[in-house]
Amino acid sequence: MSIAVFLDRDGTLNEDPGYIGDPSKVVLFDDVPPALAILQNKFHFKLIVVSNQAGISRGIITEEEVISVNSRINDLLLPYHVQIDKFFYCPSHPEFSSPEDCLCRKPSPKMVLDAAWEFSIDLSKSYLIGDSKTDIECAMNAGVKSILVKTGYGNDHLSLLFQEKKIPNFVAENFREAVDFLIHDFNGDI
């Protein structure tokens, strides 16, 4: 079985200007490409993005734009010899979509579970890195370890998580610190 690192996209891997649809505006955080390369090339983790993209149902961005932005992320990762194995995204939002269409929306674990089935992933040994309360809740719902990064919404959502006693396995200042924790945890050094 494979082991995966599930990744939120906006605010975790790249700057989040809000409903990004223009691939030329994708800016990865500086520490993301080398850290992803370590995870994939040294530790052979599957790298799976799980992202809510409600801008599609809101009519702000198109599905084609989301796919183009995802492709741009992989283009930016090429010089580091790393690629996201697959991008899963949920286009729905409760205000604009049916309850059935929203079943994929984090904090639901559906995207993680779909990826686990497709890639034969051992969830008990896998991780999710994200910047929001829904990311951490998704990780808990899927049975994977959770890491909150303080980039994006991370700082704002940290107190909400603690108020609700939904404590991530680790809180990181940035993506590199998240990956350092993950590697030490995976190796049993913690």
Q: Which residue has the tokens 């951490």?
A: 136
Residue 131: active-site member: no
| Contact predicate 70/62, CB 8 Å | no
The CA angle 114-44-171, to the nearest 5 degrees, is 75
User: Crossing angle of helices 110-119/133-142, nearest 10°?
Assistant: 50
Beta strand residue intervals within the chain, DSSP E: 4-7, 46-52, 86-90, 127-130, 145-149, 170-172
Residue 180: active-site member: no
> Catalytic site residues?
8, 10
